[in-house]
Amino acid sequence: MKTVRLTMAQALVRFLENQYIAYDGIEHPFVEGVIMLPGHGNVVGLGQALAQEAHRMSVWQGKNEQGMAHTAVAFARQCKRKKIMAVTSSVGPGAANMVTAAATATANNIPVLILPGDVYACRQPDPVLQQVEQTYDLTLSTNDAFRAVCRYWDRIARPEQLMSAMISAMRVLTDPANTGAVCIAMPQDVEGEAYDYPVSFFRKRVHRLARRLPETEAIEEAAALIRKAKKPLLICGGGVRYSEAHEEFRTFAEATGIPFGETQAGKSAVVWDHPLNLGGIGVTGCSAANEIARDADVIIGVGTRYTDFTTASKWLFNDEARFVNINVSEFQALKMDAAVPVVADAKRALPALLTALDGYKAPYTTEVDEAIARWKEELRRLDGISFGPDYVPEVNDANAASAFRFAEDLHADLTQTAVLGVINECIDPDDVVIGASGSLPGDMQRMWRPRGVDTYHMEYGYSCMGYEVSGALGVKHAIGDRDVYAMAGDGSFIMLHSELLTALQEHKKINVCLFNNASFGCINNLQVGHGNDTLCTELRFRGEDGAFSGPFMPVDFAKIAEAYGCKGYTVHTLDELRTAIADAKKVDGIPVLFDIRVLPKSMTEGYSSWWRVGDTEVSENERNLKAYEDLKSHLEAARKF
């Protein structure tokens, strides 16, 4: 057997250089590059290996381990999981920082390869800098924290273990049904240890992305159920986009006349104004989708995980509704208690099911058209909401005065809904919008009108604050010359925007639309909406009473961006917003940030949905008790599993 002597780290990089993926007659390298934040544990062993062995793969310099890993997650997601980036950190805090991003990847079923340095396998110098000593188990290190948030985890204690570990890693990274974060922990002494690796380990390896075919029996059972349906409903989940079944899904809906609602991950598989597109469904859904869903007798979920936001905590669908679940994952296909599972790739299952339906047409009359028309009228209202003498905040509670106080302190009179409408109108149809947390995902699932396919990128499986700016960089790397717009609240921007500097360094133009309402507005709404007073959810100075009751904090985010070297705009009016977007389109090669002053309590809410949260059974506050009674009444109507 022919061998080559390499260090473990050199062998790892050479192996990654030669991994390819094949699907639908297309073949290309699978690992785009490595994002690195050097530290002890990866700067010497892996750093030397990257300098020597990385020829095709690019190497980026990250600024924060969580941020750079989110960049990798967003890149893989925008590439429909057919390309990935690896990320590497030092042994202690750097590794721990990436745990959040690993969870984000796994919750969303997005492949990312995480390569943290680790403490010494030999233990000779223990305890080393940044080592956590657990007295009950000396084999544990910070990297064991990845076990709970990764689809595959391994530690390379001997250099020859790399071979079996990486074969398993690639198995998971290329598995549509079971992908997510993969962590390969690398003890820093082992990184530099050499082994005579078989040359065959480094040959070009092509991982075929198999499209699982549906079983005939499953298709027949699903078709028999659908043919009896009087009010069927399709749900377009993320699996439609990842399997690239856009055309098959649209054809199925048109041929059967079955309307569809969209999950956050499925939105933009079909453009917004398709006559059967009901829009977002569930907690953050719109009236059209939720009205039709309440009366649906058969729900056909395509590539959806049925999260609590999609099902309104399993309250949205009536007790008699039956489910057909098309999913590559058997685990996901078996969800909802009366489900007919079709475990298959959507691109293969939908045409087979359409054939089996043999000309079936949903017997709707005018219900779908009327529901969509009512929603479009509501969209026009939301687009036109403005602050003035007659303005009433959407969330009408004792804290609604915050909106007016904010207007005085920060000189703002914009509503969040009107701002979204203008941005939607001004950007190009093929531009991509990205979001993740706060009230913006709800407003965007309801209000955003995609005019191009795959132009909506929402991380809502984990709803991770700080994903927006880092993720925009990953999206930009994936889409090339088109523009990307990150929709971020001020709280999320404050939490993590480190990769804004990386975008500048890499000459990647990303547009950050920062909705500045000096608060964690979404959580404030949740807080006061369930009977509590405002506590730690507004960005105010501490007042003389000892509480956060002083003026709102006047942070100038545009100047922060300009200090990095980006282009910044401060926006107080819709006209200023239109002018800024038009001007920013002329900017090339550097990031742009719009500091948009929007009023608290100016977002959307409701539309026949409900979300279960942990309401308080015992309280001295009557508003808490009222919220608990509301919880009980909704639970009576909700499915139990």
Q: What is the pLDDT of residues 199-237, one digit of tens each?
A: 999 999 999 998 999 999 999 999 999 999 999 999 999
In a domain, 388, yes or no: no
Pairing of strands 277-280, 260-262: parallel
Which pTM was predicted? 0.96
Q: In the structure, what pLDDT confidence band is assigned to residue 267 with cuts at 50, 70 and 90?
A: very high
- Sheet of 19-23, strand order: 26-29, 19-23, 205-208
Lowest mean pLDDT across 189-203, 304-318, 445-459, 511-525: 511-525
Q: How far apart are CA 608 and CA 629, in angstroms?
A: 18
Q: Does residue 604 lie within any of the structural domains?
A: no
**For residue 608, what pLDDT is reported?**
87
Residue 194 lies in a domain: yes
Q: Could you give the CA distance from residue 144 to residue 95 in angstroms, rounded to a whole number?
A: 10
Which helix (H) or strand (E) covers residue 488, if one does? strand 484-489
420 and 512 both lie in a single domain = yes
Distance of alpha carbon 221 from its chain centroid, rounded?
33
DSSP bridge pairs for 233: 299
| Range(s) of the domain holding residue 638 | 611-641
What integer pLDDT is reported at residue 471 of this predicted model? Answer: 98
Amino acid at 176: P
Percent of the chain with pLDDT over 70: 97
CB 198 within 8 A of CB 2: yes
Q: Identify which of 173, 177, 180, 198 has the alpha carbon closest to the alpha carbon of residue 21.
A: 173
Q: What is the pLDDT of residues 593-636, one digit of tens each?
A: 999 999 888 889 889 899 899 889 998 889 998 988 988 888 88
Helix/strand/coil for 592: strand
424: enclosing H helix or E strand: helix 416-426
List the beta bridge partners of residue 486. 434, 512
Residues 269 and 303 in one domain: yes
From 326, 341, 374, the end of a domain falls on: 374
Residue given tokens 């038009």 in the structure block: 582
Which range, of 165-169, 254-258, 285-289, 535-539, averages the lowest pLDDT?
535-539
Closest to 83 (Cα-Cα) out of 183, 16, 148, 14: 16
Let me know: does 131 contact 163? Beta carbons within 8 Å. Answer: no
User: In 151-235, which residue ranges form alpha helices assigned H by DSSP?
Assistant: 161-173, 188-191, 216-227
Residues 577, 393 contacting (CB under 8 angstroms): no
Lowest mean pLDDT across 46-50, 168-172, 281-285, 514-518: 514-518
Report the pLDDT averaged over residues 9-37: 97
Please give the full DSSP string across 183-202, using - where no structure is assigned.
EEEEEHHHHT-EEEEEGGGG
Of 588, 81, 600, whose CA–CA distance to 303 is shortest?
Answer: 81
Q: Are 288 and 379 in contact (CB under 8 A)?
A: no
> Mean pLDDT, to the nearest integer, of 50-65?
97
Q: In this structure, is residue 379 part of a structural domain?
A: no
Assess whether 173 and 283 both reside in one domain: no
**Residue 385 belongs to some domain of the structure:** no
Residues 420, 317, single domain; the answer is: no
In a domain, 516, yes or no: yes
What pLDDT is recorded for position 401? 59
Report the alpha-carbon angle 86-88-94, nearest 5.
140
Query: Residue 314 above 90 pLDDT?
Result: yes
* Chain centre distance of CA 145: 22
**Strand partners for 186:** 117
Instruction: Calculate helix-pair angle for 346-357, 216-227, nearest 10 degrees.
Output: 50
Q: Which of 172, 192, 208 is the last residue in one of the domains?
A: 208
Question: How far apart, in whole angstroms, are the C-alpha atoms of residue 348 and residue 580?
Answer: 45
Instruction: Please state the separation of Cα 65 from the chain's center in Å.
Output: 18
pLDDT of residue 533: 83
Q: Do 382 and 421 meet the contact criterion of CB atoms below 8 Å apart?
A: yes
629 and 575 within one domain: no
The CATH number of the domain where 319 resides is what?
A: 3.40.50.1220
The number of domains in the chain is 4
Together in a domain, 102 and 143: yes
153 with 26, same domain? Answer: yes
Integer angstrom CA distances of residue 240 from 69, 92, 263, 639: 25, 38, 11, 26
Are 153 and 45 in the same domain?
A: yes
pLDDT at 398 over 50: no
How many Å is the maximal CA-CA distance in the chain? 83
Q: Is the pLDDT assigned to residue 331 strictly greater than 70?
A: yes
The CATH number that applies at residue 512 is 3.40.50.970
Q: Tell whether 329 and 466 lie within a shared domain.
A: no
Please indicate, yes or no, whether residues 258 and 297 belong to a single structural domain of this protein. Answer: yes
Query: How confident is the model at residue 412, as a pLDDT?
Result: 76
| 316: DSSP letter | S
pLDDT mean across residues, the chain: 94
pLDDT in the model for residue 602: 87
DSSP code string of 317-361: S-TT-EEEEEES-HHHHT-STTEEEEES-HHHHHHHHHHHHTT--
How far is residue 99 from each of residues 69, 146, 299, 457, measured CA to CA in Å?
Answer: 9, 6, 36, 22
Q: 484-489 and 19-23: which strand pairing?
A: unpaired
Least Cα distance to 67 among 53, 85, 80 occurs for 85
Closest CA to 288 of 390, 373, 356: 373
Whether residues 227 and 193 share a domain: the answer is: no
Domain membership of residue 290 (yes or no) is yes
Distinct helix (H) and strand (E) counts, the chain: 24, 23
Residue (of 474, 509, 492) closest to 70 by Cα position = 474
- Characterize the bridge pairing of strands 19-23 and 456-458: unpaired
Q: Is residue 381 part of a domain?
A: no
Residues 323 and 179 in one domain: no
